[in-house]
């Protein structure tokens, strides 16, 4: 992935956390495009519209949560409707280890990070993927 | 398992109201960003309190759990440890549908939210 044309999608219901993610990503990759969604349903729409490379995904959100968002992407991929596989980083306040491990095994999920987010953790992940 | 002991305000006294340094560290010491973030947080506290109040009357446990979970995440992110800890207990009470416990925690939450707002005003 080239940092000049990278597209991020932030799927997070909390405006405050979206702002923190966005500020961090803009600093790290000034030329990137950052798209925001307040829930999984908006996230799916933005996904089809913009084809983001990397998705920061919250799990518990009103209207549609991260679980359903992942279900739709997985189904689309299995049916060959979706060709590209994004890299998904789940950022969640879920504390149950078993639940976190199950999320980590989901389609396209590359990492699961606990809230409060440690930005250096995210930074080192992104550096492995983006040149 | 249902917890029969009702929570008290004192149970959460040890947790800091607002750890500003921690919050600043988390966002690379950007004071202006912290101000914006705190403004959004305080606004959301008012909105979420109203939603919790309504949904508690309807005993809508799913929404109560989701809102408590959101408060927990944003509170811990901003360094509002006490509010985050209370919200965490609210989330667990919603999961177990413990009405009396949730009501008590909601009272404690409202006091702590006011305490956070007053603390923030001083800074």
Mean pLDDT in residue range A21-45: 96
The nearest alpha carbon in chain B to A61 belongs to B66
The nearest alpha carbon in chain A to B70 belongs to A14
Instruction: State percent of chain A over pLDDT 70.
Output: 100
Domain definitions of chain A by residue range: 3-126
pLDDT of B1: 57
CA B84 to chain centre: 5
Would the pLDDT of A21 be above 60? yes
Judged by CB atoms closer than 8 Å, whether chains meet at A62 and B76 is answered as no
pLDDT of B85: 96
Q: What is the DSSP string of B49-100?
A: HHHHHHHHHHT-HHHHHHHHHHHHHHHHHHT-HHHHHHHHHHHHHHHTT-HH
Residue in B27, B70, B76 nearest the CB of A20? B27
**In chain A, helix, strand, coil percent, each to 5?**
45, 20, 35
Residue in A17, A27, A60 nearest the CB of B66? A60
> Is residue B34 in a domain?
yes
Neighboring chain A residues of B72 at a CB cutoff of 8 Å = 93
What's chain B's average pLDDT? 92
> Is residue B7 in a domain?
no
Annotation: CATH topology of A3-126: Rossmann fold (3.40.50)
Q: In this prediction, does ipTM exceed 0.90? A: no
> Is residue B109 in a domain?
yes
> Is residue B107 in a domain?
yes
Residue B63 belongs to domain with CATH number: 1.20.120.160
Tell whether B63 is within 8 A of chain A (Cβ): yes
**Dihedral over alpha carbons B86, B91, B93, B97 (to 10 degrees):** 150
pLDDT of A26: 95
* Six-digit token string for B10: 């004192």
CA distance linking residue B92 with residue B50, whole number of Å:
20
Tell whether A27 is within 8 A of chain B (Cβ): yes
Tell whether B16 is within 8 A of chain A (Cβ): no
Q: pLDDT tens digits, chain B, 123 residues: what are they?
A: 556 688 888 889 889 999 999 899 889 899 999 999 999 999 999 999 999 999 999 999 999 999 999 999 999 999 999 999 999 999 999 999 999 999 999 999 999 999 999 988 876
List, for residues A88-121, the tens digit of each pLDDT value. 999 999 888 999 999 999 999 999 999 888 888 8
> Is residue B84 in a domain?
yes
pLDDT of B49: 96
Count: domains in chain B? 1
Mean pLDDT in residue range A42-46: 97
Residue in A60, A95, A117 nearest the CB of B77? A117
Q: Which domain holds residue B36?
A: 17-122
Residue in A60, A61, A115 nearest the CB of B77? A115
Tell whether B51 is within 8 A of chain A (Cβ): no
> Is residue B88 in a domain?
yes
């Amino acid at each position: 992935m080239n940092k000049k044309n990278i597209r991020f999608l932030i799927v997070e219901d909390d405006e405050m956390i979206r702002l923190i993610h966005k500020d961090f990503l803009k600093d790290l990759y000034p030329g990137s495009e950052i798209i925001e969604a307040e829930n999984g349903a908006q996230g799916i729409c933005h996904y089809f519209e913009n084809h983001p490379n990397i998705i920061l995904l919250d799990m518990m959100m009103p209207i549609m949560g991260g679980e359903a968002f992942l279900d739709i992407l997985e189904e689309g991929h299995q049916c060959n409707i979706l060709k590209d596989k994004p890299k998904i980083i789940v950022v969640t306040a879920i504390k149950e280890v078993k639940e976190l491990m199950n999320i980590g095994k989901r389609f396209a999920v590359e990492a699961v990070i606990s809230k409060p987010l440690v930005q250096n953790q995210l930074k080192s992940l992104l550096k492995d993927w983006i040149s | 398992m249902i917890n029969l002991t009702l929570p008290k305000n004192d149970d959460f006294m040890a947790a800091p109201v607002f750890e500003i340094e921690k919050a600043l560290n988390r966002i690379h010491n950007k004071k202006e960003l912290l101000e914006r973030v705190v403004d959004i947080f305080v606004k959301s506290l008012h909105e979420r309190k109203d939603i919790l109040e309504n949904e508690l009357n309807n005993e809508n446990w799913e929404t109560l759990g989701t809102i408590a979970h959101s408060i927990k995440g944003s509170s811990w992110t901003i360094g509002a440890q006490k509010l985050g800890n209370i919200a965490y207990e609210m989330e667990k009470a919603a999961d177990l549908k413990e009405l009396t416990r949730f009501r008590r925690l909601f009272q404690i939450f409202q006091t702590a939210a006011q305490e956070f707002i007053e603390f923030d005003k001083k800074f």
